[in-house]
Amino acid sequence: MSEPILTEDQRDALQEIANIGMGQAGARLAALLGRFVHLSVPRIRMVDTDTLPSAVRDMLDFTEPVTALRQSFRCEIAGEAISLFDSRSAGHMKFVFRADDVHGEDSHDHEDMSDAEVLSDVTNLIAGACLTGLFEQLGQLPTFTPPRLIGEQLDLEEVLHPSKLPWDRALLLEVNLQTEDGVFGSHLLTLMTAKAVQSLVTAIDGFLANL
């Protein structure tokens, strides 16, 4: 069976749907940070796992090691969301989470959180809002596993090494959220297997048919 490829109409629809999810994630992140958040245009590519690191590096503006977390999602379409943060973001988010007014709770509840724990919460916020917003447009409600730390201060090749990915070919959907002052930056990579892309194509066709 040949690999499913998105048509131009399907790709455009996925990009527009992803924009809606990104907008929800950006609004929540902006409220948390108290800063305007720039959102990139979602980028979509079919990639082989052995070329994934170079494909992602072509998309990103990170030139330094990253902290990476992964989170599985599942509805009729399943996949992995990988969140990448630069080193400055980790420290800044820990500062934000210590503020009294972030959660309406005593700041001592967050003083002992590690950078990884803070970024786990931020990963939940970004990936949850973005992907839930996307899949809701397709009439689906995804569930998520808790974020798992891949590692800190890693090169992309370490994060996306083919031996760590359980498939040979995948759809890559990349979005970037960045504050205008540069104190926070994050890339969200969504990876779906060829089988999942078949389900995605069916859902997108249903979405287009109802327009």
Whether 2 is covered by a domain: the verdict is no
Does residue 97 sit in helix, strand or coil? helix
Length of the chain: 211
How far apart are the C-alpha atoms of 99 and 60, rounded to whole Å? 30
pLDDT at residue 62, as a whole number:
65
Whole-number pLDDT of residue 68: 92
Indicate whether 52 pLDDT > 90: no
Residue 46: the pLDDT is 86
Residue 1 DSSP SS3 = coil
| CATH number, residue 86 | 3.40.1550.10
**pTM, two decimal places:** 0.87
Q: Which domain holds residue 87?
A: 8-209
Task: Spell 121-142 as b/e; 16+ CB within 10 A means b.
Answer: bbbbbbbbbbbbbbbebbeeeb
Mean pLDDT over all residues of the chain?
A: 84
77 in any annotated domain: yes
Among 89-93, 168-172, 186-190, 196-200, the minimum mean pLDDT is found in 89-93
Q: What angle do CA 117, 121, 123 make, to 5 degrees?
A: 110
> What mean pLDDT comes out for the span 24-52?
88
For residues 99 and 201, the model is more confident at 201
In a domain, 3, yes or no: no
The pLDDT tens digits for 144-165 are: 999 999 988 899 889 988 777 7
pLDDT at residue 104 is higher than 80? no
- In whole angstroms, how far apart are CA 158 and each of 12, 53, 127, 155? 31, 9, 21, 5
The structural domain count of the chain equals 1
Which pLDDT score is estimated for 75? 94
92 within a domain of the structure (yes/no)? yes
